[in-house]
């Protein structure tokens, strides 16, 4: 008898990014999340606030030192400040 088909394991890189399948921003364009300098990030942050994977997104951005755009509801500057605060607690 054949073994039941198993779901193939994700390759490490795919597994690391699998949370992005639920990304609310994937349903919009990137323009909101990568605004021109000086443009508002309010709409992007609003959508992030509704996104189920906000925490995973933010941690990914912090871990991978994403320098541009809104990730996990925080702008570049806000992520930089969060990293500094976390580093100060060590």
What residues form the annotated binding site for [4Fe-4S] cluster? 25, 48, 51, 57
Q: Which of residues 18-77 bind ligand SF4 (CB under 6 A)?
A: 23-25, 33, 47-48, 51, 53-54, 57, 70-73
Nearer Cβ to ligand SF4 (9/26): 26
Give CA–CA dist 70/86, Å, rounded: 19
Closest contact distance (angstroms) between CB of 87 and ligand SF4 is 22
Q: CA–CA distance from 84 to each of 29, 40, 68 (Å)?
A: 30, 24, 17
Angle (nearest 5°) at CA 51 between 62 and 80: 20
Report yes or no: 73 and 45 within 8 Å, Cβ to Cβ. yes
In the bound complex, what is the minimum distance in angstroms from residue 25's beta carbon to ligand SF4? 3
- Min separation Cβ 46 and ligand SF4, Å: 10
HSE at residue 26, side-chain half, CA atoms within 13 A, is 11
Binding site for ligand SF4 (CB under 6 A): 23-25, 33, 47-48, 51, 53-54, 57, 70-73
């Amino acid at each position: 008898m054949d073994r039941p088909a198993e779901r193939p394991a994700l390759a490490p890189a795919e597994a690391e990014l699998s949370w992005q399948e639920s990304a609310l921003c994937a349903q919009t364009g990137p323009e909101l999340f990568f605004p021109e300098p000086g443009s508002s990030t309010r709409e992007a942050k609003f959508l992030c606030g509704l996104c189920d994977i906000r925490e995973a997104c933010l941690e990914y951005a912090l871990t991978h030192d994403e320098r541009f755009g809104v990730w996990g509801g925080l702008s570049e500057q806000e992520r930089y400040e969060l990293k500094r605060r976390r580093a100060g607690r060590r």
